[in-house]
Amino acid sequence: MSYSDRHYGAGDPDCPICGGLGYIRYDVPEDHPHFGRVFDCECRRARVEAQRQAYLRRMGGLESLADKTLDSFNPDLPGLPEQQRASLRRVYERVAAYAENPQGWLILTGGYGCGKTHLAAAIANARIEAGEPVLFVTAPDLLDHLRAAFNPAVAQSESYDARFREVRDTPLLILDDLGIESPTPWAVEKLYQILNHRYNARLPTVITTNHNLDELEMRLRSRLYDQQVSEILVITAPDYRTQAGFASQQGDLNALGLYNHMTFESFELRRDLTREEQENLRRVLETARSFAQNPEGWLVLMGPYGCGKTHLAAAIANAQLAGGTRVLFITVPDLLDHLRATFAPDSHISYDKLFNEVKTAPLLILDDLGTESATPWAREKLYQLFNYRYNARLPTVITTAHRLENLDARLVTRMRDKRLSTLLVVGVPAYVGARQK
């Protein structure tokens, strides 16, 4: 009995074509390519294919994820604002294209429950249906499997070296939840060896993470950021499992309710200004209106206290909120206070969840940059936030009364990038009321 017969069985005993043998041989001349060869009969072919795919899913760790397909993923989730739905649709279409022809690396980032694992598993299932082997594994499970191979008290079906080679050389590796593993030196070294080998060999690899890539070990990060090999897709959708995810996790983080009276209609083109100042303020207002209609890239509003920066930023936020977009408006010092508060024992939300909500907000308004206490921790958190949104090209509005040379140079390089950011100087003095206060 052949390997195929043992694993997949013979044909249908009542089959009029093969008589239950499961194979057929074509009656063709000797010079025909099918001469002397046997082929699966139709009665056996469907069962062989189903069992083969089940075997590939079992070997690839996908048995529990068989339902995670491109067809079962809804990129047009009801209730999402148009901009967020369009972003999710673009990610979905790119994932579908990768599933058709896996080339290079695909990095899926986003908050908890946004669909990263579903899309990664959908790629794996699509390739298995095409008959190609895939290894799907979470980063912690992968490291546990490698550790277990060293244990002499446990019977092993394969050595550590064989298991390591399987992961390193598999035609398509899906590594889920990178960053939640315990970052011991051994774990970091094993992940680096695997990813570095696949990077050098240009082996197709899909990685999901809800961490800021800048938080990962430097050697891993350099591979993930290489645009010649890797493509980073940011999923800004809220938690699919809790439709109120974005709002419920923010708590009192969002200060936009304090500024709901600040709209474009209530913004005053002041009469106490010179003609040149009025023209400047009118240009800034028109640019802010245009950004509010189609928020793309970054808008940086600079000027003295009381000149109208916060009003314009709030007007953008309120216009987008009226259109259904989820907006986060917060002053930078308050943001850092909220992040610090998550370390308290009675905090109702973890630091990771809160920071992810801020990083992936569909539209983020950061008011009063430069007024925060510039501790090393604060500088690092702001850099991580800026760098994430910069790489993900997420719409962001920043206001500051400080000169750029007085801000962190790492932040300034992102704000000055003309490919992403528009810098506007509100060149008018403070309102009379603001000056009196």
Q: What angle do CA 351, 396, 371 make, to 5 degrees?
A: 70
pLDDT score, position 401? 92
The series of mean pLDDT values per 10 residues for the chain, 437 residues long, is 43 76 79 80 71 61 79 79 80 95 93 84 90 85 78 57 83 88 83 94 93 84 91 78 40 75 89 88 94 94 91 93 84 90 81 86 92 86 92 93 91 92 90 47
pLDDT score, position 131? 79
Name beta bridge partners: 300.
Answer: 398, 423
Residue spans of beta strands (DSSP E) within 133-248: 135-138, 173-176, 205-209, 230-235
Between CA 311 and CA 157 the distance in angstroms is 66
The H or E element containing residue 398 is strand 396-400
Nearest to 180, CA basis, from 154, 146, 141: 141
Which CA distances in Å does 164 have to 145, 161, 191, 231, 411?
9, 5, 11, 25, 40
The H or E element containing residue 6 is helix 3-8
Between CA 272 and CA 61 the distance in angstroms is 70
pLDDT score, position 3? 34
Structure tokens at 295: 């928020």
pLDDT score, position 158? 57
Buried b / exposed e along 339-356 (16+ C-beta atoms within 10 A): bebeeeeeeebeebebbb
pLDDT score, position 432? 55
- Contacts of residue 353, defined as CB under 8 A and 6 or more positions apart, other chains included, come to 111, 112, 249
Between CA 234 and CA 388 the distance in angstroms is 10
pTM reported for the whole predicted model: 0.51
Between CA 114 and CA 392 the distance in angstroms is 15
Which CA distances in Å does 304 have to 50, 242, 368, 398, 434?
68, 41, 11, 14, 11
Residue spans of beta strands (DSSP E) within 2-54: 23-25, 38-40
Which CA distances in Å does 224 have to 76, 105, 278, 359?
28, 8, 47, 18
pLDDT score, position 56? 56
